[in-house]
């Protein structure tokens, strides 16, 4: 029998699936797991996948955060390096042409929620619990959480979550914009159905749309309009925009070529 890998990479049809595979530790993020996630993202990025799905093995957790058993005895340099590794690994997802989808099938806590918020979109099962409980460990989020969370749910809600460490259920997460959809178990099936809603569109054009929206948080309004004008004009130069308009006028489905 092949050895169990802490992170598994596989394909389901046109989608790459990255599975955190330490269910006995609720898929906690050891340093090795973070490195393996980075390698799996690289593998997916080099493939012809239309979307990357990230989930956790088992029925209990997407990921219960950083592996607390590794916390002891880290000096300041090692601690900074580990944080940087987590931030940089999750940030890889931002700059990929391929969109990513967190498939939250249970707990998504601390670094687990930070991984989920680094994905383009998030779905969760109704039993999911999401939170950043670092404060209970005398810590604050360190894999991008203090920056991505307020951008997604607003400063007030992010402060509430960071300061109380409380978990929010799937319904509340949906109502605050922390997740995009609630799906039935098995969550991967629901995620695939969701991904199929956009996977047939032009990947570069999906990327322009993602980039314009993401940069809204980082730009003054006039600068944001400029970014939108530039990316819209870029999309307009693509073959796929000609195909989209032609298909509409010919009353047929478009056949996008990612060009």
- Nearest distance from residue 226's CB to ligand DAK, in Å? 36
- In the bound complex, which residue of the shown chain has the CB atom lying closest to ligand DAK? 110
* Residues belonging to the chain: 259
Nearer to ligand DAK, 36 or 67 (CB): 67
Provide the binding-site residues for ligand DAK, judged by CB under 6 A.
25-26, 28, 64-69, 79, 82-83, 107, 109-111, 133-134, 137, 139, 142
- Best CA proximity match to 196, nearest among 101, 125, 111: 101
- Nearest distance from residue 31's CB to ligand DAK, in Å? 8
- Best CA proximity match to 18, nearest among 47, 55, 48: 55
Alpha carbon of residue 106 to chain centroid: 15
Nearer to ligand DAK, 79 or 185 (CB): 79
- Nearest distance from residue 143's CB to ligand DAK, in Å? 6
Nearer to ligand DAK, 12 or 139 (CB): 139
123 with 181: CB under 8 angstroms?
A: yes
- Nearest distance from residue 218's CB to ligand DAK, in Å? 24
114 with 145: CB under 8 angstroms?
A: yes
List, by residue number, the catalytic residues: 114, 134
Alpha-carbon dihedral sign for residues 68, 127, 177, 154: negative
The contacts of residue 59 (CB under 8 Å, 6+ apart) are 105, 106, 185
Nearer to ligand DAK, 32 or 246 (CB): 32
- Nearest distance from residue 213's CB to ligand DAK, in Å? 27
Nearer to ligand DAK, 131 or 244 (CB): 131
- Nearest distance from residue 21's CB to ligand DAK, in Å? 14
d(CA 82, CA 178): 25
d(CA 150, CA 80): 22
Alpha carbon of residue 203 to chain centroid: 17
Nearer to ligand DAK, 75 or 95 (CB): 75
122 with 179: CB under 8 angstroms?
A: yes
Helix (H, G, I), strand (E, B) or coil at 63: strand
170 with 126: CB under 8 angstroms?
A: yes
């Amino acid at each position: 029998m092949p050895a169990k890998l802490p992170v598994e990479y596989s394909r389901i049809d046109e989608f790459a699936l990255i599975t955190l595979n330490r269910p006995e530790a609720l898929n906690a993020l050891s340093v090795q797991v973070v490195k393996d996630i980075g390698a799996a993202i690289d593998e997916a990025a080099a493939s012809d996948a239309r979307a990357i799905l990230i989930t956790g093995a088992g029925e209990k957790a997407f990921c219960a955060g950083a592996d607390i058993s590794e916390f002891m005895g880290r000096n300041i340099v090692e601690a900074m390096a580990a944080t940087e590794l987590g931030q940089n690994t999750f940030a890889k997802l931002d700059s990929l042409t391929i969109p990513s989808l967190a498939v939250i099938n249970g707990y998504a806590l601390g670094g687990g929620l930070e991984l989920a918020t680094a994905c383009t979109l998030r779905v969760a099962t109704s039993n999911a619990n999401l939170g950043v409980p670092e404060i209970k460990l005398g810590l604050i989020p360190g894999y991008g959480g203090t920056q991505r969370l307020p951008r997604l749910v607003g400063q007030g809600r992010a402060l509430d979550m960071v300061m109380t460490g409380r978990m929010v259920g799937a319904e509340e997460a949906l109502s605050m914009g922390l997740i995009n959809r609630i799906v039935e178990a098995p969550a991967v099936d629901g995620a695939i159905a969701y991904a199929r809603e956009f996977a047939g569109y032009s990947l570069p054009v999906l990327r322009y749309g993602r980039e314009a929206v993401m940069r809204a948080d980082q730009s003054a309004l006039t600068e944001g309009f400029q970014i939108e004008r530039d990316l819209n004009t870029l999309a307009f130069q693509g073959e796929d925009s000609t195909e989209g308009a032609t298909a509409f006028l010919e009353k047929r489905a478009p056949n996008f070529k990612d060009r």
